[in-house]
Amino acid sequence: MMFSAVLFDLDGTLLDTIAGIAVSMNHVLTGLGLPGHDLETYKMFVGEGMEKLVAKSLPAGSPLLRDLPGVVAQYHEEYGRQWPETSEPYPGVMNMLADLDRRGIRMAILSNKADDLTQVMVACLLPGIPFFRVRGARAGEPKKPDPRLAMGIADDLGIPAIRFVYLGDSAIDMETAVAAGMYPVGVKWGFRSAGELRQSGAKMLLEKPEDIFRLF
């Protein structure tokens, strides 16, 4: 198979963001008089969007679940302050992206992170990379693993989905890739285990970013 494009997940794939997520959510929980969680727990909470992250972070049966949008807004505000000090590209990611661009491979990002945060973080932390499209979660639109946005990016690029590599770090990413008809590739440096990636459809696992060039 000849691949012409790569669709990337963001958190846990291109950017190491878990520390900022944990610090921000724990700050909100502490302010509400609730206990926080450790990094490994947050690695299991992320991936399905901000609302699911906050809901999983609250105690089961908490009355705060009835005001979930209010707690989400607190987290969004706190994370907006924290991420510049706690987030960075994984080692080798910038070289991988630059080399893909030099080879003429088209690139895009699809994240379940809120779109405003996705846009500013990509612009600041992955500068100079000509992504065809950068998409985060927007109100009223489907989130991964729904494949519609991934398929829409392929359509807009004019490249068949079958010629896309989909690179991600979670079951949600692999399920999205499979549903969209893209080639699912998991990264071993992200938030979830190799076993989860394989079980959810990964056809290849990368030890380090430059391993992607085995596909091109």
Domain map (residue ranges) of the chain:
5-16+88-215, 18-86
What residue has token string 């000509």? 130
48 Cβ contact list (under 8 Å, min separation 6): 112, 143, 172
**Can you list the residues of the chain whose pLDDT is less than 70?**
1
The closest of 110, 113, 105, 47 to 79, measured between CA atoms, is 113
pLDDT value of position 40: 96
Q: Are strands 15-16 and 106-114 parallel, antiparallel or unpaired?
A: unpaired
pLDDT value of position 1: 66
The closest of 86, 1, 85, 8 to 42, measured between CA atoms, is 86
Q: Are strands 15-16 and 88-89 parallel, antiparallel or unpaired?
A: antiparallel
Tell which CATH architecture fits domain 5-16+88-215.
Answer: 3-Layer(aba) Sandwich (3.40)
* Topology agreement, domain 5-16+88-215 and domain 18-86: no
Q: Are 74 and 34 in contact (CB under 8 A)?
A: no
Q: Which two tokens stand for residue 97?
A: 């992206």
d(CA 58, CA 60): 6
The DSSP symbol for 161 reads: G
Cis amide prior to 89 (ω within 30 degrees): no
Q: Give pLDDT tens digits for 136-185.
A: 999 999 999 999 999 999 999 999 999 999 999 999 999 999 999 999 99
pLDDT value of position 212: 98
The closest of 195, 179, 97, 193 to 146, measured between CA atoms, is 179
Please name the residue ranges forming H helices in the chain: 18-31, 39-45, 50-57, 68-86, 93-102, 115-125, 148-157, 171-180, 194-199
d(CA 159, CA 5): 8
pLDDT value of position 117: 97
To the question of domain 18-86 being in CATH 1.10.150, the answer is yes
d(CA 118, CA 137): 8
pLDDT value of position 96: 98
